[in-house]
Amino acid sequence: MKQSVERQMRAGAEGKFWSFSCEFYARPGVEVTLLALQDEDGLDVSILLFCLYAAARGVALDAALAASMNVVGAAWGTSVIAPLRAARRGLKAAAPESALRAEVKRLELDAEQAMHAALEGLLPEGQGEGGEPRALAERNLAAWLACRNLAMTERRRSRFAALIAQAFR
């Protein structure tokens, strides 16, 4: 079963950010764009999704929130999720239908869900300051890149625009 379908099935009664991510990930072109940003640009998909989710909630990232996101990203994304992803991808070639690969995939999704919960806990209660969601999403993605000292390349700008168009259609 595809991972995106599994995400949807697991969304159920989980946090609002996880549900947002599962629904959004299933939209046309989103999975491909997010995985390109992950695999080609080295960006964390959960953090990218959080930037969009925060915008949908009317929250603009400030330096403190971006720094907190980076702490969560390092704790979960870099230290836990990335090694699980590497193991799952390695097992795809060695043992594609194995129970071990299925278990690693389950653990990877569990870790992503935990990271989502940690990120969601960073947002203020209720709605944020408001504003046009597309503009907030652009601002949030740019602020997160700046906090990480990463450039807004034309390729990233184009991919971000595609995601924003799907998120706020």
Average pLDDT estimate for 43-55: 97
pLDDT category of residue 168 using cuts at 50, 70 and 90 = very high
Where is average pLDDT lowest: 7-11, 63-67, 165-169? 7-11
**pLDDT value at residue 64:** 92
CA dihedral 112, 90, 42, 83 (to 10 degrees): 50
Lookup: tokens for 13: 């009664």
Give the global pTM: 0.88
**pLDDT value at residue 91:** 95
The structure tokens 């960006």 sit at 43
**pLDDT value at residue 129:** 75
Average pLDDT estimate for 141-160: 95
pLDDT category of residue 130 using cuts at 50, 70 and 90 = confident
Average pLDDT estimate for 56-70: 93
**pLDDT value at residue 2:** 42
Parent domain of 91: 3-167
Rounded alpha-carbon distances, angstroms, from residue 76 to 47, 69, 128, 156, 163:
11, 10, 25, 23, 23
The answer to whether residue 50 scores a pLDDT higher than 80 is yes
**pLDDT value at residue 124:** 84
Contact 57, 124 (CB under 8 A): no
The answer to whether residue 138 scores a pLDDT higher than 80 is yes
Count of structural domains, the chain = 1
**pLDDT value at residue 7:** 43
Q: What angle do CA 97, 20, 68 make, to 5 degrees?
A: 95
The answer to whether residue 95 scores a pLDDT higher than 60 is yes
